[in-house]
Amino acid sequence: MAAKAEDSPLAMALLREISAALADYLETGETAVIDLKSLPMLDADRDALADLLGEGEVTATLNVAGESEVRETGYAGVWWVRHFGADRKLAAEQIEITAVPEILLAHRDDIAAAADRLAASLKTDPPEPMTTLDRDTHHV
């Protein structure tokens, strides 16, 4: 017989911590990260926490210096993020409380390089950045 998620005191404690962090994020905008690898979690605790948090609508897999998986839980703003080494061994595992995990955000330098490549493919100069005045008066 499978244990109930509520039978894991660690998973329940983490759920309370996540709840408080989510409320703080909503009120202050302060993000939080809970490092699951630093905790004495058994597989049963991890499974219980996964059951308690549920599955959300967004999943992403990244291949940057190893594979990373980002999964939204059943609670918007609560993300389960796992990073793997070259041998697919779990290197880091975190719960992130944020609108979008930092690893999914494009870096400004990468965006600039992409704009240059796209403009080059069109054989044009990159567009000039809009000024604040332009943004205020420009509607798409």
- Give the mean model confidence (pLDDT) for residues 5-33: 94
**Which of the four pLDDT bands, split at 50, 70 and 90, describes residue 66?**
confident
75 and 39, same structural domain?
yes
88 in the same domain as 50? yes
In this predicted structure, the answer to whether residue 7 has a pLDDT above a threshold of 50 is yes
**pLDDT over 90 percentage in the chain:** 62
Is the pLDDT reported for residue 92 higher than 80?
Answer: yes
Domain count, the chain: 2
63 lies in the same domain as 112: no
**Region for residue 77 given its phi and psi (left: phi exceeds 0; alpha: psi -120 to 50; beta: otherwise):** left
Residue 26 pLDDT more than 70? yes
Tell me, yes or no, whether 66 and 124 share the same domain.
no
- Rounded to an integer, the average pLDDT of 88-114 is 91
As a whole number, mean pLDDT of residues 114-133 equals 77
**Could you say which DSSP state residue 85 is in?**
-
Same domain, 97 and 133: no
- pLDDT at residue 1 tops 50: no
Q: 36 and 101: one domain?
A: yes
92 and 111 share a domain?
no
Q: Are residues 73 and 43 in the same domain?
A: yes
Residues 75 and 125 in one domain: no
Domain residue limits at 15: 5-105
- The answer to whether 81 and 53 have CB atoms below 8 angstroms apart is no
Name the average pLDDT for the chain.
Answer: 88
CATH assignment at residue 57: 3.30.1370.140
15 and 72 assigned to the same domain: yes
